[in-house]
Amino acid sequence: MNEPVPLIVGFKGTQLDEETKAHLLEINPMGVIFFKRNLAEPEQIRSLVAEVKRLLGPILVAVDHEGGMVNRFSPELATPPAPFALNFTGPQEQKQATQMLAALPAHFGFNLNLAPVLDLFDADSEAINIRAFSRDPEEVGRWGSMIVEAHEEVGLGSCGKHFPGHGRVRTDTHNRAGVADFTAEELQAKDLLPYRRMALPAVMTSHLIYPAFDAQNPASLSKAVITDLLKGQMGFKGLVLSDCVEMEAISASFGPEEIVAKGKEAGLDLWISSYSIKADLGFQKALADAMRAQGLAGKNPKVRDFLMDYPGRKPQLFRLDEAVALRRETIQRGGVKPAPPWELAVVSSKAFNGINRDEPEEGFRYWMKMGLGELVPNSLELSLDDLDSAEEYFKEVRQSGRSLLLATQAARRHPNWEKFMQLIENMKSVLHLDLGEGADIIGSIEGKWNCFGSDRLTVQAICRELKVGLATGVPDSAKP
């Protein structure tokens, strides 16, 4: 087998077919990363993780698991809510969430989890948004330290991201290049502060350009950011990983040879090729060939030390009802809950449907119906592109006297949002369920809940909260 190269690669499927096995053996990566496409029921996860380890030996077995919208595991397994939602809870709930986050990867034999997100929250961010814990860098640092500690307790390595800070920039580098046009002083005082508050075993770099440090190169390929700032000024000694180099912010401008050459010069320890964007084995092979040609193949003492430091322990998994209860704690409830039965109307801008959006298997409406049964006799999706139909629908609801559950997710991003709000000014008995970060503000609606997610566990929490105090008669079989 070839000498190992400093790649962490993704692959397709829930099992290793012969093509994938041959590919992995030919490349001999130092790590493999798993996504939702690879992870099904518990026994399958255990089997696949073990098979990868048998095939390649002692390697990094990674997962990109943050909780909330970035959940790589089945909804039958307990995961915590979005980090931003937990910002509204207390220390006890936050501690439970960090332990819940670490438990799943550790339980199934992973040794590296690409969390915590140390970016600062901004409602306009396409890439980060509720993946971030807070606007306050001190609070983000405190939260990140809790996550690292929870991972350490189960022998699992963690990774802070996206250095030197992605949250305050709207651009999603999965889709295009972007610039973090802040001064060095502002970056030091805000975005970099969480990294100075904790001892991280690994750091993942951002693909944004930071002109305050390097006006030419994205951070993942910048010597000024990785070697001079992170390793030099900040004294970081752990592993430095790139974000996935298949992302457009990198791969649209650089070929595999240049990605490797510039990353090597910058001081990267590991490059990630997730297979989530290009789905191209040839691209991964070209990266590996470039690494061998540029003298990067062979044993890596930093990876060896990481594997020794994080042997992993198998903790008990949390129960699903604990995960749902934690989500109920995060729901921010305001106004009066209208009486059932409820019409359910769902509106979305489709703004967050990229690589980090793991859609519920059957969709939000389906699970709301399963959870509320006859309490929601009708449901539909409203298009902000078709305001005439929306107006007609609201008219029918008003005339019927029925109550309305209006669920939105980043709908304010649509150019018709202001006109849409005007259509519901005369609506009565409405409860607005904001499934995003709480920024979809509808001034004429008194009742508003900030729910911070549309995954199946969050839907269960919403349904249980809606039914509080109701003699619903909903049979147990209809409960989520």
DSSP state of 323: H
If DSSP codes are grouped into helix, strand and coil, which group holds residue 144?
Answer: helix
The answer to whether the Cα torsion of 355, 360, 361, 366 is positive or negative is negative
If DSSP codes are grouped into helix, strand and coil, which group holds residue 469?
Answer: coil
Q: Which of 107, 174, 207, 414 is catalytic?
A: 174
CA distances to 92, 116, 409, 449 from 329, rounded to whole Å, are 11, 21, 20, 12
Q: How far is CA 285 from the centre of its chain?
A: 27
For residue 371, give every residue at least 6 positions away whose Cβ sits within 8 Å of its Cβ, in sequence order, or none.
459, 460, 462, 463, 464, 478, 479, 480
CB environment 154-186: b (16+ within 10 A), e (fewer): bbbbbbbbbbbbbbbbebbbbbebbebebeeee
CA distances to 7, 267, 271 from 261, rounded to whole Å, are 14, 10, 11
- DSSP calls for 373-434: GGG--EEEEPPTT-HHHHHHHHHHHHHHT-EEEEEEESGGGSTTHHHHHHHTTT--SEEEEE
Q: Which of 64, 214, 243, 455 is catalytic?
A: 243
How many helices and strands (H and E) does the chain possess?
A: 17, 17
Question: Could you tell me which residues are beta bridge partners of residue 160?
Answer: 203
Question: Could you tell me which residues are beta bridge partners of residue 161?
Answer: 117
3-state SS of 118-142?
CCCCCCCCCCCHHHCCCCCHHHHHH
Residue 122 appears among annotated catalytic residues: no
Q: Is the link from the previous residue into 91 a cis peptide, with omega within 30 of 0? A: no
The angle at the Cα of 455, spanning 453 to 458, to the nearest 5 degrees, equals 65
Residue 269 appears among annotated catalytic residues: no
DSSP strand pairing (209-210 vs 214-218): antiparallel
- Please give the positions annotated as active site: 174, 243
